[in-house]
Amino acid sequence: MRKLTVITAAAAAVGTILTGCTQPQPDPAPAAPSASAADLDRYYRQPVSWAACADEQLAATGSECATVDVPLDYRDPQGASIELAISRMASTDPDSRRGIILTNPGGPGGRGLGMPANLREGMAPDVSDAYDVIGMDTRGLGASTPLDCGLTDMTWFRATGAGRSGFDENVQRASKAADLCWDKYPDVLPHTNTANIARDLDVIREALGEEKASYYGWSYGTVLGATYSQMFPERIDRLVLDSAADPAKYGIEMFRDMGPANEKAIDDFAAWAAPRHAEYGLGATPQLVRVGIEQLIADAAVTPITVGQFTLDDHTLPFVLYFNATSDTDNAAFAEALVQLRQFAAGKQVTPMPKLAGLLQAMFRPESGTGPDYASTLAILCGDRAMPTDPEWYWLNIERARADQPIFGSVHNSITPCAFWRGEPIEQVEIGNDTPALQVQSLGDTRTTYEEGLGMHRAMRGSRLVTVPGRTHAVFPDYPNDCARDAVNDYLREGTLPSEDVVCEA
């Protein structure tokens, strides 16, 4: 039940919008606007009834599911409410139980009900016994009063191609996506933002009868966790930020940082693939491997690659590469995908490997399940930050990036639907506090880059940073590094941060 992030990713990609690049100073934790504890009493005191999860795959993990009501607009807690879906993997040893860990898998727009089971895979038995691990689909996502704008693709991860026409098409796609969402949800979108999701977390904590909550977030989930610590510092027990974004760059600047990082990932992969030329045939030198990848894109611009019912061209092929270059543990799978793409380009009929087939399904048939997730991603990102609105700003950045970023420059500098979002964000939380936190970051992260992580480290002044060599996104529990895994388990077990930042060995 491995996660798929958009900032990620984003994927999900998931991270996207422009903020000032100055480091925010510590601010008092803001209270819910115009809402007192008494106003929220009916939400804080609501009963939570756990039952078997309706999703069979989720139920098979031993997770339980429930729903919780929260206000649509915290400024008007007596007004409309929405329903959130939550999950739990409960402690199996009540005598050892410490409390709850709230979680978020990133995106934004990453469904979170399966995260507790994933997180448990890396927990030492005594750590697992100490917590109920709580998952959630954030407001507007999955089983939590979902948004569905009728989006048919991820407009913000589409390369422009060599000329201007592809960019102009991206502009039209982005504008259409924004209009589809606003025409359908004008009363909901203004309240779909990270600050309100943080308030949702606190309603869940209180409804579960916990004075404090621990928290674990991947990717965008680190922005949410940092926001929760900023708004409710007295409610934080233990806080882990895994693969963090820079809160001062969260938005379009974060997207732009992904371009150089993904180009470097291609170079790192090429250095791995060249000595294995006899096995994969991708090139006998790193330079030849890269040239081959760039040529595959150029050829697809002339003759698109047909993979079953789907077609890849120079606009869509870069995202396939982006998704496959996330982790150095997937180098062999990336090589196999490239071999298959070459076979398809040559007109050969082969069965696409499952990872490639699943990615194409998500890219081209989002109505089968991922389309509403795209809407949630946009709602949060565009609801958190204001986006530059002039298309020429994006075009200028694309043109500047082409020389150094031949594969990803036009992907990570292109326009997003946030450029056409209506109105200004109603709330933005700046991060700058002394809350203790454990931060885990890989040096080669292509989603939230290591430099981005350093920005979070500066903003969360009470944090300790665990640096992990290699290339991955979302370190714990899947990346094979005992140092990082032990650091997370030790902190969750003892609650004591390392005395200084830690640099793990490979």
DSSP 252-286: HHHHHHHHHHHHHHHHHHHHHHGGGHHHH-S-SSH
Give strand pairing partners of 82. 70
Please tell me whether residue 357 adopts helix, strand or coil conformation: helix
Residues whose CB falls within 8 Å of the CB of residue 348, separated by 6 or more in sequence, listed in order = none
Cα–Cα distance measured from residue 12 to residue 110, given in angstroms and rounded to the nearest whole number: 7
Does residue 355 contact residue 338 with C-beta atoms inside 8 Å?
no
Max Cα separation, the chain? 70
CA 495 to chain centroid, in Å, comes to: 26
At 155 the pLDDT is 73
Contact 377, 108 (CB under 8 A): yes
**Angle, vertex CA 433, rays to CA 462 and CA 488, nearest 5:** 40
H-run or E-run covering 60: helix 56-60
Cα-based distances in Å from 455 to 107, 195, 429, 461, 472: 19, 20, 16, 10, 18
Q: What tokens appear for 235 in the block? A: 């409610």
Q: What is the pLDDT of residue 12?
A: 37
Closest CA to 70 of 225, 209, 223, 198: 198
Q: Name the DSSP letter for residue 131.
A: E
Question: According to the model, what pLDDT value does residue 312 have?
Answer: 96
Report the amino acid identity of residue 252: I
Smallest Cα–Cα separation from 219: which of 8, 498, 59, 475? 8
Helical packing angle, 220-231 and 194-207, nearest 10°: 70
Q: 463-468 and 502-503: which strand pairing?
A: parallel
The token pair that represents 234 in the structure block? 């007295």
- In this structure, are residues 71 and 81 in contact, taking their beta carbons and an 8 Å threshold? yes
For residue 172, which amino acid is it?
Q
**What would you report as the CA-atom Rg of the chain, rounded to the nearest whole angstrom?**
22
Is-contact 426 340, C-beta < 8 A?
A: no
Residues of the chain with pLDDT under 50: 1-32
3-state secondary structure of 484: helix
- Total residues belonging to the chain: 506
Contact between residue 443 and residue 202 where contact means Cβ atoms under 8 Å apart: no
Rounded CA separation 104/457 (Å): 19
pLDDT recorded at residue 371: 62
Across 324-356, b (16+ Cβ under 10 Å) vs e yields bbbbbebbeebbbbbbbbbebbeeeeeebeeeb
The DSSP call for residue 159 is -
Positive/negative CA dihedral, 132, 135, 138, 139: negative
How far apart are alpha carbons 85 and 418 in whole angstroms? 27
Per-residue pLDDT, 6: 32
- Token duo for residue 417: 């639907």
CB neighbour list of residue 168: distance below 8 Å, 6 or more residues apart: none
Output the pLDDT for position 21.
Answer: 31
Whole-angstrom distance, CA of residue 488 vs CA of residue 131: 14
168 SS3 class: helix
The C-alpha atoms of residue 484 and residue 355 are separated, in whole angstroms, by 27
Q: Establish how many alpha carbons lie within 13 A of residue 338's alpha carbon, considering only the half-sphere containing its beta carbon.
A: 31
